[in-house]
Each structure stands twice: as C-alpha cells, then as structure tokens.
Amino acid sequence: MKASQSRQNPAEWEESLPLHPQTARDLPTGRYQFHKERLMAHIEQDRQQDQGVTAAGRTRPKARGLRLRPAFTLPVVALALAGAVIAGTVMTGPGAGPGALATGPALTTQLGSATTNDVPQLLDRLSLVAAEGARSAVGPGQYIYIESQSSNTFVQTVDDKSSLASYTLHRRQTWRSADGAKGWLIDPAVNDSPKGETLSLPDEKGNPFEASLNGPSYDYLTKLTTDPDALLAKIYKETAGQGNTPDQQAFTTIGDLLAESYPPAALYPALFRAAARIPGVVVVDDARDAIGRSGVAVARLDETSGIREEWIFDKNTHVFLGVRTVQVKQVTEEGVVIEPGVVRFTSAVTARAIVDGMKQTPGHGG
C-alpha cells in the first residue's frame, strides 16, 4: 500500500494562551506539509529561480496554478519539503510521512465573511500595539525559540483511491541563533527522531548560511528598512517571480515573518504598515487558529488557487495568534474536489522567546 500526498507549506514574548482542546474543524489542510528546513536553506543559497520557499515552510512554484503560502513556519527558519506534493507536484511516501503522524478526515471550518471596510483601521491598531510592545534584542550566544501547533491537509491516495486527509495537530519547536547559522528543529512532520535535527550551517556541502527575506536571521532583520514604502518595495523586488501574483507573494512574505521569526522592535510595526499598502487585503471578523483560539484576521485571497491566507490576532489585545490558509473557491487537485471551507494549513504560535542555549525552553535549562 502506498500513499501519495499532495500539499501545497521581549526577553520572553509569550504569544500563547493555555492550549485549548482541538476540534476537527479548526485543523489544517495541505499547506506546506513535509518541509525540510536544511534542504530549504540549501535551495535558498543556490538561489534557484524556479521556486521560492517561505520561512513558513511552503514551497512556492514560480509558474504553477496552486500555491499554498504559509505554513506558518518561517522566516527565521527556511523550510523545505521532504516528501509530499506541492502545487500539483506529486511526491510519494509511505504512511503518514517522516514523523509517522496519524491522519484523519480533512479539516474544515466555517468561512468568515471578508470586508475591506476596516482594513486601514485594523492594521493601524496592530502597528500601534506592535510599536508599544516590549521586545528585547537577541544577545551574543542567545537563541530565538518559537513553539507552535500546526497541521495541514493533503490529497492521499491509497490502493488507487484518492481522498483528502489531514495530519493530527502536532508541536513544532525551533531554535535559531541571531546570525541564523546555528539552529535546531523538533517536528514530527519532518523527522522521525523525537530529539529533532540540527539546522546549523554550513551544511554537509560546506555552503554557509546567507540570510534573505525567504530565510531571514534576526541580524538580517535588524538591517531592513523600517520605512513602510521602502520595505514593501524591497519585498516586491526580492520576491519577483515567486507566487501566483506579486501582491499575493508580498502578503505571504510578510505573513511568514510574523509567523516564525522575531522581527526587531523597529521593524515589527513597519510590517503592518507595509501590509496596509498591498491591494486586496481584507478583514475577516471570525477566524480560529490551530488550537481553537478565536480572533480577527487580516487576509488576502489568492484568486489563482482560490485559497485565502489569514493572519489571526486576538480581538482585544491584538496579539498575533497564528496563521491559516482556507480554501474559498472550489478546486480539483489530483482528481479530488476540494470544497470551500477546507483548511489547507493551520498553525498557532504558543511561545516565542529569547533563550540562553540551544534546546532550552523558556523558564527551563537545556
């Protein structure tokens, strides 16, 4: 039996609330399914022109119809695939993937209504909250720790029968040094070992780490302009040719930076102001992250793939909760009809902090 999967990927800044029981409808659908960060870093270094990978772990084909943006994972950690399908490219692999994650029915959700009426006001509030929040710099020898819960949906073929399936919600942990050259990943969707794997570079071929918008380090982010217009212009220029449209790719790139990087204090509010300048951005009043937390979302619909990417924030505090991509228009992928409401990918950030050592978690030693 063989399965074929199609996927598309402060000193202590706690962005999480206690984990809520997961519900089937809040889980994800095939975003960036098996991403392999080290491989992604290598691809980024080679600067391949035919595909771009988000820090969030999604592969973005240059000229394909279906593109799944976020996964939520990440700018600080450039992810890559390790055995699934993206935008129509089929990769086969046994069972539930690298980490042998269990699968279940496709995750679905109620589609929240979208409006353009409150976009400037919401993004302005988000930028103000971001500017007021405390955010410590990453010091020598310290690491950025990010923990999330994520899942995705994909087309699975067993005994010549294809259907949609979703991975169980699982924890993902990453550590990255300020320069991005040292890191560690624990993610059952990527690695069988519960101990995880190194993300430290140079890689086995001797390629040094070179930060970019698709695979940024903290040090790289500190050097970016904080002028919203100049920042957006840089994003458009450096992601040219990626994604289905320049506007959608710009939105995706900013979303990746929010999901799994640690934007410096000056840059953080600038990201929201830059997003406000992207055409087609909407507000979704009711959206839920991977662990069921309800919030308001800044979103944008990719007209080509019919997928809406949502950045979810707490309605009261405006703290970032997570990201998800939801099918809004019906499509057929690998012979399977994907209806509106299917969650392609979902992720909830449960912790983001600066720690003093690799594999150390907030409040604990290594």
Q: Is position 362 within any domain?
A: no
The residue to which tokens 């290598």 are assigned: 42
Amino acid, single-letter form, for residue 308: R
Query: 41 with 78: CB under 8 angstroms?
Result: yes
Question: For residue 306, what are the domain limits?
Answer: 3-355
Q: Is position 281 within any domain?
A: yes
Could you please report the per-residue DSSP string of 52-70?
Answer: EE-TTS-EEESS-S-----
Q: Is position 360 within any domain?
A: no
Omega of the bond leading into 75 within 30 degrees of 0 (cis):
no
Question: How many Cβ atoms from other residues are within 10 Å of residue 121's Cβ?
Answer: 11
Q: Is position 77 within any domain?
A: yes
Per-residue pLDDT tens digits of the chain, which is 366 residues long: 444 443 333 333 334 333 333 332 232 222 232 233 434 433 444 433 334 434 333 433 322 222 233 332 333 223 323 223 222 223 333 334 555 578 899 999 999 999 999 999 999 999 999 999 888 999 989 999 999 999 999 999 989 899 999 999 999 999 999 999 999 999 988 888 889 999 998 766 777 889 999 899 999 999 999 999 999 999 999 999 999 999 999 999 999 999 989 999 999 999 999 999 999 999 999 999 999 999 999 999 999 999 999 999 999 999 999 999 999 999 999 999 999 999 999 999 999 999 999 999 998 765
Q: Is position 282 within any domain?
A: yes
How many domains, in total, are found in the chain? 1
Q: Is position 331 within any domain?
A: yes
Residues 6 or more apart in contact with residue 281 via CB below 8 angstroms: 116, 119, 123, 251, 275, 298, 299, 300
Query: 307 with 330: CB under 8 angstroms?
Result: no
Considering only the C-alpha atoms of the chain, give the largest distance between any 2 of them, rounded to a whole number of Å: 55
Question: What's the rounded Cα separation, in Å, for the pair 330 and 327?
Answer: 7
Q: Is position 361 within any domain?
A: no
Query: What is this structure's pTM?
Result: 0.76
